[in-house]
């Protein structure tokens, strides 16, 4: 028997006519997929921008006089929201495309997964630390405007403690997700890529 | 476009299912078939008929199967366990049917070689395979010759 003789059983298996899937459900799934992606982006970015906008409105625009410290607090919120939005957009920049070759697709996926893994591994630097800084600045400015003192009260200390605890948990969960999901898959794709181009 | 797609699915579902069977664990074949169909539906407007339909299907199906996030890891674990248990050619009864030989040979191949074999058996040329995989036609021919050699070594006394 030669390898070419396997063409007959292969063509027989390929000719198998199974149940044709319902295409109306298929097309509605495509629409759902697009909606899901849109909603995910919406819930990540819009609340951040709304918070920044609210900060500008309530702490700056609606005030008669805005202290230098208040301006710093509002600006830090704006910079944080803009920075996170930019990071998320940049991480999604390499979008996969069905018409590329397997090699190109593997390279794109490796790059995309690398970006996502890097985002999760470094969440402390691009999200948590800036967020804690914004919380610290805005709370101190608020405390000063209410009481005239820069020394945080008991409620502020409680807020800091809760923020740091939640942040530590978030960092741990993100790093775990990166190590469990993204890095093993990236290794697998790199292995496939090596197999494809290495011969 | 929907009628065109329905006809295409009817003609090529067997091929898509065979590809999915190679790249997914048994319980996940239907999910992978569905995923491939979704990708085909999404990329249908960009398919202008310049290449053969089979080439386009292989391109989309292999891209989907090999970069499927959850399934890829699960199947990889399964494949490692299976490979540890048996090498191709071993345990195949004498007088096994060509379909059994095909399944056995396919099981013993890596993902890339398996994709080359499927396309070869389907009659795609080296240039067409090159357009799917993104490596040179020369490299494809080298792989095919190695596959033939491996087949001979394993199944011909």
Q: CA-to-CA distance for A139 and B96, rounded, in angstroms?
A: 76
What residues of chain A, 30 to 49, have a C-beta less than 8 Å from chain B? 30, 33
Domain CATH number, residue B8: 1.10.1740.10
Q: CA-to-CA distance for A21 and A26, rounded, in angstroms?
A: 8
Chain A residues with beta carbon closer than 8 angstroms to that of B10: 17, 20
The mean pLDDT value for B110-137 works out to 91
Q: Is residue B77 situated within a structural domain? A: no
Domain CATH number, residue B135: 1.10.10
Q: Is residue B35 situated within a structural domain? A: yes
What does pLDDT average to over chain B? 81
Chain B residues with beta carbon closer than 8 angstroms to that of A192: 66, 111-112
Report the predicted TM-score, pTM, of the whole model to 2 decimal places. 0.69
Q: Which single residue is written with the structure tokens 């085909």? A: B40
What residues of chain A, 105 to 124, have a C-beta less than 8 Å from chain B? 105-106, 109
Low-confidence ranges of chain A (pLDDT < 70): 16-38, 40-41, 94-100, 199
Same domain, B93 and B156: yes
Same domain, B43 and B92: no
Over the stretch B79-94, which tens digit does the pLDDT of each residue have?
Answer: 555 555 455 556 666 6
Buried b / exposed e along A89-108 (16+ C-beta atoms within 10 A): eebeebeeebeebbbebbbb
Taking 60 as the threshold, does the pLDDT of residue B143 lie above it? Answer: yes
| Centroid of chain to Cα B7 | 22
Chain B residues with beta carbon closer than 8 angstroms to that of A199: 139, 142-143
Over the stretch A143-190, which tens digit does the pLDDT of each residue have?
Answer: 888 888 888 888 889 989 999 999 999 999 989 988 987 788 788 888
Q: Is residue B107 situated within a structural domain? A: yes
**CB–CB contact A30 B156 (8 Å):** no
A64–B contact, CB cutoff 8 A = no
Taking 90 as the threshold, does the pLDDT of residue B68 lie above it? Answer: no
Chain B residues with beta carbon closer than 8 angstroms to that of A1: 98, 101, 155-156
A25–B contact, CB cutoff 8 A = no
């Amino acid at each position: 028997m030669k390898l070419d003789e396997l063409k007959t059983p292969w063509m027989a298996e390929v000719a198998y006519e199974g149940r044709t899937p319902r295409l109306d459900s298929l097309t509605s799934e495509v629409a759902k997929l697009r909606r899901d992606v849109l909603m995910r982006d919406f819930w990540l970015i819009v609340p951040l921008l709304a918070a920044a906008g609210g900060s500008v409105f309530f702490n700056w625009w609606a005030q008669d006089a805005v202290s230098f410290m208040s301006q710093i607090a509002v600006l830090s919120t704006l910079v944080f929201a803009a920075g996170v939005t930019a990071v998320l957009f940049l991480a999604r920049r390499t979008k996969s495309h069905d018409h590329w070759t397997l090699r190109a697709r593997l390279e794109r996926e490796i790059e995309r997964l690398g970006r996502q893994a890097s985002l999760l591994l470094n969440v402390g630097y691009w999200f948590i630390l800036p967020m804690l800084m914004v919380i610290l600045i805005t709370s101190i400015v608020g405390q000063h405007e209410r009481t005239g003192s820069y020394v945080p009260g008991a409620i502020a200390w409680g807020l800091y403690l809760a923020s740091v605890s939640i942040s530590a948990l978030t960092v741990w969960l993100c790093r775990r997700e990166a190590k469990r999901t993204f890095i093993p898959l990236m290794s697998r794709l790199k292995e496939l890529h090596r197999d494809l181009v290495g011969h | 476009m929907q009628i065109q797609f329905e006809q295409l699915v009817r003609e090529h579902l067997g091929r898509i299912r065979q590809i999915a069977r190679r790249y997914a664990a048994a319980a996940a074949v239907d999910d992978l078939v569905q995923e491939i169909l979704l990708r085909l539906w999404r990329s249908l407007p960009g398919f202008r008929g310049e290449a053969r339909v089979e080439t386009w299907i292989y391109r989309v199906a292999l891209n989907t199967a090999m970069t499927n996030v959850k399934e890829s890891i699960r199947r990889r674990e399964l494949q490692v366990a299976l490979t540890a248990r048996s090498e191709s050619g071993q345990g195949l009864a004498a007088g096994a049917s060509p379909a059994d030989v095909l399944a056995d040979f396919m099981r013993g191949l890596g993902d890339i070689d398996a994709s080359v074999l499927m396309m070869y058996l389907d009659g795609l040329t080296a240039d067409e395979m090159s357009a799917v995989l993104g490596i040179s036609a020369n490299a494809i021919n080298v792989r095919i010759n190695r596959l033939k050699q491996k087949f001979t070594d394993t199944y011909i006394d």
